[in-house]
Amino acid sequence: MKFLEKPPRFLFFTGKGGVGKTSIACATAIDLAESGRRVLLVSTDPASNVGQVFGISIGNKITGVDAVPRLDALEIDPQAAAQLYRDRIVGPVRGVLPDAVVKAIEEQLSGACTTEIAAFDEFTDLLTDASLDDTYDHIIFDTAPTGHAIRLLQLPGAWSGFLDDGKGDASCLGPLAGLEKQRTQYKAALDALADPLSTRMVLVARAQSATLREAARTHDELAAIGLSRQYLVINGVLPGAEAPRDRLAQAIHDREQAALADIPANLKTLPCDVVALKPFNLVGLAALRGLFAEAAPLASTGDDAPFVFSAPTLSALVDEIALDGHGLVMLMGKGGVGKTTIAAAVAVELAHRGLDVHLTTSDPAGRLAETLNGTLENLAVSRIDPHAETERYREQVLRTKGAKLDAAGRALLEEDLRSPCTEEIAVFQAFSRAIREAGKKFVVMDTAPTGHTLLLLDATGAYHRDVARQMGDTGVHFVTPMMQLQDPKQTKVLLVTLAETTPVLEAENLQADLLRAGITPWAWIVNNSIAAAQPHSPLLRQRAFDELREIDAVATRHAKRYAVTPLLMEEPVGVERLLGMAGHRGRSGND
């Protein structure tokens, strides 16, 4: 493996959820430890399953992995770190400020940026603690900080003073108010990150266009702040030997090879390793030791019957949605799970039943038109440009809040406005125009904002409180977008995930986020399931079997109702294939 050649002291693994960061990081730790190095493996992933992978309990303390001499592990609990962070900030003002103000502060500190910065606060010690030099040759981090968080920590000026003076927006600067370490210590940590002799950034992706695009974006974001020495690992690539054994396997192989041939230009120059898809779950030492090894093809069991699997279809879910005759359907989920495709499939299903549908998206890649690849009676499609909407919102805030700031204050505000929350707020304001249509037709919304962003909008009075204040005691009935989202009779939220451990954990966290905002997800959709595709290939049959545990968790613990869509031999492009994806007999791309 190229990324293991002459490894520096720190190795960071980053990538979208579900690409295999934890498995790659754990296998790397074992490899280095068994070569005689002393290794500390650290996870800062909110959905960390390092302990599960090793089959031991780790937690927020350095713990020896008994089966691997010279290897210790640590799971930084970012949620616990974020809670301590919030307590340090909110505690002194609780009971002093009005409850509504305290609640707004708590919400400001409840998002992903707080969690990430609090975790960075924790592992700064690991980057700068000289005493660890005598204990470990390598420290490996599962989940690296984003470029946005690093830029925030590089900013000059007093964050707390900026916020105390009321100059900041309710986005990502709030978490910085709780930082207690000296800026010199943060500078030392950031210097270590930027030094290629000390640190190696490893981007982990799959042989899929979406995850490769995400890796390309991460590459540019990190390179812009000086972290340009990066490596690429493409994980879980189906071995070519499996392709002739199954039509589905052949289609997957062809699709992956096409994605690799069309890899983004900025990734082509990186040192790259390809890790083959394994037939087994990457849990336990034996599995992890075999991750980087070339495996012989699985022998056929002699049973050529397809894998048998049954679950509710997307078409069955849409049957229930259609009974209302109109309403808002919001698709939510982490990147790479297929929200745009599922949104298109739901819209096509509703329109196919003769119902009026408006499908709207903020997908920056503009894939919706490609996915539909045609028109359908009763279906209208629109696209919101996230870049244009965000720039409009930023200009508005800079024109108002930024007008009287000095140069340092304006720099802080401009950085705050580069946060992911800013784009979500700006796009949702544009989406709000389409939401009004849901009283008379179906509006299917792709790429919806998170519960945290919705609460930020509500807490800061961006629309809900503004309307309530303007209406006053006039007695006029009004409904704001937030009120409509919280009404299950008007809005149905569909959470999209994959039948893999990390995406399911991320969807579970997203559901908790929404519940906090008073929004209860109506259903979960498990997308791209190998089990639902009923494969013949021995390797794919084993992978399908491994999916059953995650699908069962969705069905029995997380979702009130659910559906499973199959991994198709052909990309679900065009009306016919989208209908097949939803579960129409005779239309499936695997027939």
Catalytic residues: 18, 20-23, 45, 502
What letter does residue 538 receive in the DSSP assignment? H
Give, for 42, the enclosing helix (H) or strand (E).
strand 39-43
Nearest to 543, CA basis, from 567, 519, 562: 567
Q: How far apart are CA 510 and CA 505, in angstroms?
A: 9
Q: Are 17 and 205 in contact (CB under 8 A)?
A: no
Q: How far apart are CA 469 and CA 450, in angstroms?
A: 25
224: Cα within 13 Å, side-chain hemisphere: 13
- CA 577 to the chain's CA centroid: 26
Structure tokens at 169: 């927006």
Q: Are 338 and 528 in contact (CB under 8 A)?
A: yes
- Residues pairing with 139 in the sheet: 10, 40
Residues 6+ apart with CB under 8 A from 385: 362
Angle between helices 112-128 and 78-90 (to 10 degrees): 100
Phi, psi of 330 (to 5 degrees): -110, 130
Exposed e or buried b for every residue in 1-16, given b needs 16+ CB within 10 A?
A: bebbeebebbbbbbbb
Quote helix, strand, coil % in the chain, to nearest 5.
50, 15, 35
Give, for 498, the enclosing helix (H) or strand (E).
strand 491-498
Identity of the amino acid at 484: Q
The helix/strand/coil state of 409 is: helix
Q: How many CB atoms lie within 10 A of CB 94?
A: 12
Phi, psi of 139 (to 5 degrees): -120, 120
Place of tokens 């959470």: 495
Dihedral-angle region of residue 546 (phi above 0 means left; psi in -120 to 50 means alpha; beta otherwise): alpha
Identity of the amino acid at 586: G
